[in-house]
Amino acid sequence: MERYNRITGKNKREIVLLQSRPCVWGKCRFCDYINDNSKDIKAMNALNEEVLSNVTGEFRVLEVINSGSCFELPQETLERIRQVIQEKKIKKLFFEAHWIYRNRLQKMRDFIGIPIIFKIGVETFHYDFRENYLNKHADFHSAKEVSQYFESPCLMVGIQGQTKEMIDYDIQMLKKYFKLGTINVFTNNSTDVRRDEELVDWFMKKYDWLLEDPSVEVLYEKTDFGVGD
């Protein structure tokens, strides 16, 4: 399992994959990423300390991800992140959180003490597909509503049952309401959600311009950020 990397393309930053308690929701239909969690706080803190020791502050920007939301990281790990930020003179932090935590984001900003770009796994702005098929448990009804809390949505494309029109709308909303975003091209995993190869091919041709867009990162493979397995 790779847990540290340097992203030298768009939005240069260091990125760490830490271990946390189980995801507070943990029922998204497409996700088996939640297997990387633990209830052993001591072991988690030890692992996270080791991973964080790789951070150099080279870009003054750090992204911290885990198998869920940043609020599920142990308190000692959060304190260590804050310490690393101070020691390495980090100026900006990327965190991710579920919609459930939208009213706790400011508290985390106050704790960390530097600007935080909060990512959220939207997957799609199409309510029915998101809630009744993907089972996201994120009951917002518009991209504008999400933008009032989060700076950077993560979208998912190439799922069987998704349509070209849905993807077109999602990209339109991303560009209209957000300065940053991530698009994950779905890859098959241990869940029953399947990749639509024809839809992926269509997306990669129609939206190839996103590969040059400095505000949007397109992940064709789930390990394109250089962490995970």
Overall average pLDDT of the 127-135 stretch: 97
Contact residues for 25 (Cβ-Cβ < 8 A; gap 6+):
68, 98, 100, 136, 137
* Dihedral (Cα; 218, 7, 222, 155), 10-degree rounding: -40
- Report d(CA 132, CA 116) in Å as an integer: 31
The pLDDT value given to residue 35: 73
Domains of the chain: 4-219 (3.20.20.70)
Alpha carbon 191 to its chain's center: 19
pLDDT in tens, 149-192: 999 999 999 999 999 999 999 999 999 999 999 999 999 999 99
Contact residues for 185 (Cβ-Cβ < 8 A; gap 6+):
156, 157, 158, 200, 203, 204, 218, 219, 220, 221
Backbone torsions φ then ψ of 109, nearest 5 degrees: -60, -45
User: Higher pLDDT residue, 221 or 199?
Assistant: 199
pLDDT in tens, 28-69: 999 987 678 999 999 999 999 999 999 999 999 999 999 899
